[in-house]
Amino acid sequence: MTTIAQAGRKSTEPLRPEPATVLEVIQETPNIRTLRLAFDDPSVMEAFSFLPGQIGQLSVLGAGESTFAISSAPSGSGSFEFSIMKAGVVTGAIHELAAGDRTAVRAPMGCGFPTDEWKGKNIVLVAGGIGMAPLRSLLFHLLDNRGDYGELTLVYGARTPADLCYEAGRADWQQRSGLDFTATIDAACEGWDGCVGLVPNVLEERGPSPENSVAVTCGPPIMIRFTLQSLSKMGFREEQIYTTLERRMKCGIGICGRCNLGPKYVCTDGPVFSLQELRELPEEL
Amino acid sequence: MTKIIKNDNIARLLEQLAEDAEVWAPRELAGTGTAIFERWQNGVAVDLEHITSISAKDVVLPRTEKLFDFNYAFGDPVPGENIEIVAAVTAPATVLFGARACDAKALTVLDALFDNPESESYNDPNYQARRRALTVITLACTTADAACFCSSFGEGPAGKAGSDLILYPLEGGYLAEAVTARGESILDAATRFFEESNAEPPQLAETATVEGLDGLQQQLPAIFKDLDFWNEITATCISCGFCSHGCPTCYCFNIHDEMSGDRKGERLRSWDACMFYVYTQEASGHNPRPTQAHRYRNRINHKFSYYPVNQGETLCTGCGRCIRGCPTNLDIREVLRAAKARAVETELMADGGKAETDK
Ligand SMILES: Cc1cc2nc3c(=O)[nH]c(=O)nc-3n(C[C@H](O)[C@H](O)[C@H](O)COP(=O)(O)OP(=O)(O)OC[C@H]3O[C@@H](n4cnc5c(N)ncnc54)[C@H](O)[C@@H]3O)c2cc1C
Ligand code: SF4
Ligand code: SF4
Ligand code: FES
């Protein structure tokens, strides 16, 4: 079984968050915002590091806390980001935050992508909607360590152009050599002269080779399902495919019992799993 | 070390223990034939006859407990004001009096998860503090009721696991046996209530066992996808969650915030149960365990397969509380027997199929 890289958060009080301040809020789409945050305690901020794919819990004290992928570059720069879709009580409260507001964060948690094992390989990223958040961190890591990896492919889809996140990033990714980036939307619309089509179809058109490659996919369950079919058609084997899973979470440290998939916990054993690992677990998605 | 304590001296012993510790003991719920564990107070009669309907786990895992206080509220009009997060672990010395062997054993099962210094990820400061401040005085059972099946999981009605001191009922009193140094120190400190003795422990209860549970951990996966089976089993279940809340080894919890004024509040954790619909419901509305069958399947698998895989222990002590308390008479022993039989049947069929195609 593949070993997934882990950078543990060791704390004597694992349920107690660390105060943090919102530095910047970016409205990505009508219902997704990216928050750039920093821990208030400079020594905590300095010691903070994470792997792409790891997650954190963001609190709005009084409303509660929720789980999000850390979406910024793991190399760090005195801050980190979450990209948050408005879905309910806590995410609604998060969407009311402005620069200067105080929050509290528990991070990092879980296991990241095994990027060390992937050195020397081509990497194919397939994302839909808010599923781009964990892959964005991974992409930053791959671009920052360009020499360690082969060809990079990214297919990122959303329903409409307005639903695509990371505008500045997309402009940059378009220019990068060695990165085949396609942004796609579901149906043609005015003002969009880019690619039109569902993510799995576009992926098949781009046709990255499975030879010495790994594929990573994250997005809505239905997109993941069809993407897996496409990858398999293209010749990717289960051990070459990775995904990050979602489950309702509370503790984030494997004790509240909420996020298990068989004997594994998504919060500590995941959220990154290879398809091969998932096949060995009870089917309860 | 063994000594004898007479019935009359029990209340006086509790009084003395209560001088330096919180004492928890069973109290009868009048007229119900059952008891609950409660903070003991002078003058309250302890019920050492009936088994409690809900286990003693809230001595170490309270139904609701504070994780920390905070003094900042969403929408604070003073940007830049400091957030203060004040951890709230308080654990006075506590004595659990009149636990049963199944309750005491359950504490050692939970220790593996919540108080395990060897583990990298599992450590819980609140549990640790409470557990380490806890002394357990156990009452060995000389009678069992129709729901007891603790002998299925090892030591049975006088098991020592988790106890500091064990009391064996005798005519007119109890034979007290120290299990740990803490237990001995109680015998030493309260000498005026204990008498030297060479009495023999009484005949203990015989509890029913569920035979042949050994292979269950490996066999449960074979019927995981058999929703027909789980549907049949849970046809009457109403997802009330009693089986989990009454259970000494169920530990799932929820975390939520409560405000107590504009800029103040506390983060709490409370018992939760995988038998509830919303337990796994995601924000998208998707629920990986949408029916009673899915949820009860998880409960059984967690106790008899996942937890043994992860911690090497069964997450059940055979206390029978889920059997006594279920409003629809779901009996976990029958479920285990049925699961075992169905798994064997399924494996035979799978083998048969293989044999067929091999021909
Ligand atoms: C590993 C992981 C990574 C994630 N990454 C991201 C990300 O990068 N970006 C992102 O936008 N999202 C991400 N999510 C999803 C995000 O965590 C959820 O959208 C978020 O938690 C919703 O929180 P909420 O408080 O706004 O919703 P809630 O209002 O809490 O609703 C959540 C669900 O709980 C139910 N519910 C409501 N109240 C209660 C109650 N009192 N008791 C029990 N159930 C209740 C609701 O019916 C609903 O199904 C991720 C999730 C996981 C697990
Ligand atoms: S599952 Fe039932 S019998 Fe087993 S410990 Fe829990 S309440 Fe007792
Ligand atoms: S106690 Fe009985 S009815 Fe209630 S959730 Fe448990 S099995 Fe279902
Ligand atoms: S979130 Fe509590 S066990 Fe995973």
What pLDDT shows up at residue A283?
A: 83
Round to whole Å and give the CA distance between B326 and B142: 25
Residue position matching structure tokens 């309907």: B53
Task: Give which of B72, B76, B274 to mutate to test A binding, by max A Cβ within 10 Å.
Answer: B72
Which of A248, A261, A265 is the best mutation target for the ligand 4 pocket, counting ligand atoms within 8 Å of the beta carbon and taking the most?
A: A265
DSSP letter (8 states) at residue A2: P
Number of neighbouring beta carbons within 10 Å of residue A91: 21
Distance from CA of A282 to the nearest CA of B (A): 7
Round to whole Å and give the CA distance between B207 and B204: 9
CB contact under 8 A, A61 and B257: yes
pLDDT band per the 50, 70, 90 thresholds, residue B76: low
What pLDDT shows up at residue B204?
A: 78
- Residue B121 pLDDT > 60, yes or no? no
Round to whole Å and give the CA distance between B168 and B137: 11
Round to whole Å and give the CA distance between A268 and B284: 22
Region of residue A197 (phi > 0: left; psi between -120 and 50: alpha; otherwise: beta): left
* B276 in contact with chain A, both atoms CB, cutoff 8 A: no
The residue in chain A having the minimum alpha-carbon distance to the alpha carbon of residue B81 is A102
Task: Out of B70, B80, B288, name the one closest to residue A285 (CB).
Answer: B288
Q: Which one-letter amino acid corresponds to residue A207?
A: G
Tell me the two tokens of residue B316: 């059940």
The interface residues of chain B toward chain A in range 139-158, judged by CB-CB distance below 8 A, are: none
Secondary structure of residue B109 in the 3-state scheme? helix
Residue nearest to atom 1 of ligand 2 (CA): B316
| Measured CA distances, A263 to A269, B308, B310 (Å) | 10, 9, 7
| Measured CA distances, A246 to A67, A148, B180, B234, B282 (Å) | 9, 29, 45, 27, 8
Instruction: Provide ipTM, 2 decimals.
Output: 0.87
What residues line ligand 1, using a CB cutoff of 6 Å? A 55, 66-69, 83-85, 87-92, 130, 133, 246-247, 249, 271; B 278, 281-283
Helices (H), chain A: 42-47, 89-94, 132-144, 167-175, 199-206, 221-233, 275-279
Backbone angles phi, psi at B123, to 5 degrees: -160, 130
pLDDT digits (tens, 9 = 90+) for B288-335: 999 999 999 999 999 999 999 888 889 999 999 999 999 999 999 999
Burial of B122-131, coded b for 16+ CB within 10 Å and e otherwise, reads bbbbbbbbbb
Distance from CA of B264 to the nearest CA of A (A): 8
- Residue B157 pLDDT > 90, yes or no? no
Tell me the two tokens of residue B71: 């003094």
Q: For ligand 3, is residue B275 a contact (CB within 6 Å)? A: yes
In this structure, chain A runs to a length of 285
Q: Which residue has the higher pLDDT, B272 or B346?
A: B272
Region of residue A257 (phi > 0: left; psi between -120 and 50: alpha; otherwise: beta): left
CB B226 within 8 A of CB B345: no
Ligand 3 atom nearest the C-alpha of B238 is 3
CB B236 within 8 A of CB A234: no
* B208 in contact with chain A, both atoms CB, cutoff 8 A: no
Tell me the two tokens of residue A47: 């010691």
Tell me the two tokens of residue A67: 């789980």
Residue position matching structure tokens 């990122």: A156
How confident is the prediction along chain A (285 residues), in pLDDT tens digits per residue?
Answer: 233 333 344 556 788 898 899 999 999 999 999 999 999 889 889 889 999 999 999 999 889 999 999 999 987 679 999 999 999 999 999 999 999 888 999 999 999 999 999 999 999 999 999 999 999 999 999 999 999 999 999 999 999 999 999 998 999 999 988 899 999 999 888 888 888 899 999 999 998 899 999 999 999 888 999 999 999 999 999 999 999 998 899 998 888 889 999 999 999 898 999 999 999 888 888
Round to whole Å and give the CA distance between A114 and A106: 22
Round to whole Å and give the CA distance between B249 and B60: 11
What residues of chain B lie within 8 A of the CB of A109, using their CB?
Answer: none
* Contacting residues for B304 by C-beta, under 8 A, at least 6 apart: B213, B216, B217, B220, B314, B315, B316, B336
Ligand 2 atom nearest the C-alpha of B303 is 1
- Residue B287 pLDDT > 60, yes or no? yes
What pLDDT shows up at residue B213?
A: 77
Sign of CA dihedral B336, B339, B344, B345: positive
pLDDT digits (tens, 9 = 90+) for B214-249: 888 888 998 999 999 999 999 999 999 999 999 999
The residue in chain B having the minimum alpha-carbon distance to the alpha carbon of residue A269 is B121
Q: Which one-letter amino acid corresponds to residue B289?
A: R
What pLDDT shows up at residue A126?
A: 96
CB contact under 8 A, B83 and A104: yes
Task: Out of B225, B259, B269, name the one closest to residue A283 (CB).
Answer: B225
CB B94 within 8 A of CB B21: yes
Task: Give which of B67, B68, B72, B74 to mutate to test A binding, by max A Cβ within 10 Å.
Answer: B74
Tell me the two tokens of residue A95: 């969407």
Residue position matching structure tokens 């286990």: B55
Tell me the two tokens of residue B220: 């449960």
What pLDDT shows up at residue A12?
A: 65
- Residue B356 pLDDT > 90, yes or no? no
What pLDDT shows up at residue B358?
A: 43
The interface residues of chain B toward chain A in range 307-336, judged by CB-CB distance below 8 A, are: 307, 309-310
Task: Out of B75, B257, B306, name the one closest to residue A263 (CB).
Answer: B306
- For chain A, the straight-line distance linking the first and the last C-alpha, in angstroms and rounded, comes to 20
What pLDDT shows up at residue A9?
A: 45
* Lowest mean pLDDT segment, chosen from A279-283, B94-98, B249-253: A279-283
DSSP letter (8 states) at residue B219: H
Q: How would DSSP label each residue in A139-178?
A: HHHHHHTGGGS--EEEEEEESSGGG---HHHHHHHHH-TT
What pLDDT shows up at residue A134?
A: 96
CB contact under 8 A, B283 and A251: no
Round to whole Å and give the CA distance between B7 and B191: 15
Tell me the two tokens of residue B78: 């003073």
Number of neighbouring beta carbons within 10 Å of residue A221: 12
Determine the Cα angle at B340 with ends B334 and B344, to 5°: 145
Number of neighbouring beta carbons within 10 Å of residue B76: 17
CB contact under 8 A, B286 and A221: yes
pLDDT band per the 50, 70, 90 thresholds, residue B74: low
The residue in chain A having the minimum alpha-carbon distance to the alpha carbon of residue B287 is A285
